[in-house]
Homo-oligomer: A and B are copies of this chain.
């Protein structure tokens, strides 16, 4: 058996104002309305709520105790109104993002931080993980959105694939820096740093070499473009990576040149296929996609 909210509101208003008339003003309703609400509450409670002392209504000790609980309830209830509004305008909620480890340390955190800064009631989890796990957890709805690359497609995961420009990166002072653009032939004798041989990007890159009867050499193999950037910056060799990552490391002296022919990197934004995807996730993915614009291949 619970109490009508209206009675609790009247109780709070009267306790606050010390008078039924003023409580009525506070609640913007008539005095008899409050009078009756309070007497209804009063008669369903086994103790006195107020005591008259020189024309003021003073809560009894029991009422004082009750008041604290009542205020908690009413405050929380009031906050629900705000919350629903925040939820519908994507200003509140929780976002679970999965990404490849390489993304967790470069572009993505900046975009996420910016996204959150205007949404104080949004919390987020950013989880770096292996591609297979990302897909798996997106399907199982453990994550609201996932960022991976070279995604093959899956029936229960919605995906948007974005082609990202790639560039050739050279260590500071490398002779090839003299060229305006780099072709496979230029790299035939270089120490190549590249992504895993089973990655889609590696395969398409080596295909570009094969078409010209060249072989893509191998000096260091690494999963992440970011690692490749570090290695090149340290003079370990040359590489072809996403321009987005390259720009992050440009300040370390990396030389960036266009690579021809274009072998774009295929980035995929995932979310659970069913409609349960949160508005927030959609908005974030949208924001993220826009942030990729400068590095996008057309």
Q: Which residues of A contact B (CB under 8 A)?
A: 1-3, 5, 8, 45-48, 51, 53, 58, 60-62, 65-66, 69-70, 72-73, 76-81, 83-85, 87-89, 92-94, 144, 274-281
Q: List 5 A-B contacts (CB under 8 A).
A: A8-B80, A61-B280, A62-B88, A70-B80, A76-B76
A72's nearest neighbour on chain B, judged by CB, is: B76
* B residues near A277, Cβ cutoff 8 Å: 61
* B residues near A89, Cβ cutoff 8 Å: 46
A93 B61 Cβ-Cβ under 8 A: yes
* B residues near A84, Cβ cutoff 8 Å: 3, 45-47, 66
A78 B2 Cβ-Cβ under 8 A: yes
A80 B73 Cβ-Cβ under 8 A: yes
* B residues near A8, Cβ cutoff 8 Å: 80
* B residues near A66, Cβ cutoff 8 Å: 80, 83-84, 87
* A47-B87, A88-B46, A276-B58 given; A3·B80 CB < 8 A: yes
Give Cα A280–Cα B66 distance, bound, in whole angstroms. 14
B79 A47 Cβ-Cβ under 8 A: no
* B residues near A48, Cβ cutoff 8 Å: 275
Q: What's the minimum C-beta distance from A93 to chain B, rounded to whole angstroms?
A: 5
Q: What's the minimum C-beta distance from A77 to chain B, rounded to whole angstroms?
A: 5
Q: What's the minimum C-beta distance from A41 to chain B, rounded to whole angstroms?
A: 9
| Top 6 A-B pairs, shortest CB-CB distance | A46-B88, A61-B278, A62-B87, A73-B76, A47-B88, A45-B84
